Amino acid sequence: MRKGGKILAAIIRSLEKEAVTGVTASYLDEKAAELCKQHEVIPAFLNYQPAGAPRPYPACLCLSVNEEIVHGLPGGRILKDGDMVSIDMGIIYKKMVLDSATTVIVGGMEKADLIAKVMLSACKTALDAGMSVCKPGIKTGDIGFAIEQKMKEVSNGYIFEFAEHLGGHGVGKHVHEDPFVPNYGRKGQGALLKAGMVIAIEPILNEGKGAIMVSGDGFTYKTVDGKRSCHFEHTVAITEDGFEVLTK
């Protein structure tokens, strides 16, 4: 999983560079497929059918733009300067699944408004806070509490909310495994972490309210109020004395 995590990090870095003004979401999905072939890995999301989905997922990449939260189905949407784009991808390397996500501003951060800059920084900082508490003996609620508190601390007076009901998860032999890893909550609640477990921690932060809905394609989650959402994610191993980020 260590080796697979480095490969996934390299793929996502390449896709970040491709997310420029004028390209389509489907173009980025095609690039993701090419990169998987180049690195000799399998795209984990392609043909994966999560619970409640109407059919297997038909793409390598989850690409969510602006009001789209997660699981955005790549299509003909054309990216433009200032768009907030979540790039979420999983791969299978030697039968083990890695999962990671980042959010970029098309055209670079100079094209982002102040709210977007604060929001992305808060979400990324919250991910770091959630990972920092990981060690054997804590519970998943401790991670959620750390994520939520750090987000509020660094939001510069803006009121953001984490997407309701969405969060991280166990990962390894399958794309989604137990336990669920919340982005808010109370200390001492949830599943107990033990050395050897691997989890995906993924703060998903909405510019407005946390309410979500599923679009007509059956996959893409969107904000109910039409405001933007961002998403950062790492696959993290719980070690004997702490944690290791596998997808850096």
What CATH number does residue 210 fall under? 3.90.230.10
What pLDDT score was predicted for residue 52? Answer: 74
pTM for the structure as a whole: 0.95
Taking the C-alpha atoms of residue 210 and residue 165, their distance in angstroms, rounded to an integer, is 9
What pLDDT score was predicted for residue 23? Answer: 97
* Number of domains making up the chain: 1
| C-alpha Rg value of the chain to the nearest Å | 17
What pLDDT score was predicted for residue 47? Answer: 96
Per the structure, the complete domain to which residue 102 belongs is given by 2-245
What pLDDT score was predicted for residue 50? Answer: 77
What pLDDT score was predicted for residue 54? Answer: 81
**Secondary structure of 214-242 in the HEC alphabet?**
ECCCCCCEEECCCCCEEECEEEEEEECCE
Contact between residue 181 and residue 167 where contact means Cβ atoms under 8 Å apart: yes
What pLDDT score was predicted for residue 17? Answer: 96
Please state, in angstroms and as integers, the Cα–Cα distance from residue 151 to each residue in 38, 54, 125, 126, 169, following that order.
37, 34, 7, 5, 20
What pLDDT score was predicted for residue 51? Answer: 75
Encode pLDDT of 177-229 as tens digits: 999 999 998 999 999 999 999 999 999 999 999 999 999 999 999 999 999 99
Pairing mode, strands 229-231 and 204-206 = antiparallel
Tell me the torsion sign for CA atoms 158, 163, 169, 173.
negative
- In eight-state DSSP terms, residue 155 is S
Contact between residue 147 and residue 183 where contact means Cβ atoms under 8 Å apart: yes
Q: Which amino acid is at 56?
A: P
Give the residue ranges of the chain where pLDDT is below 50: none
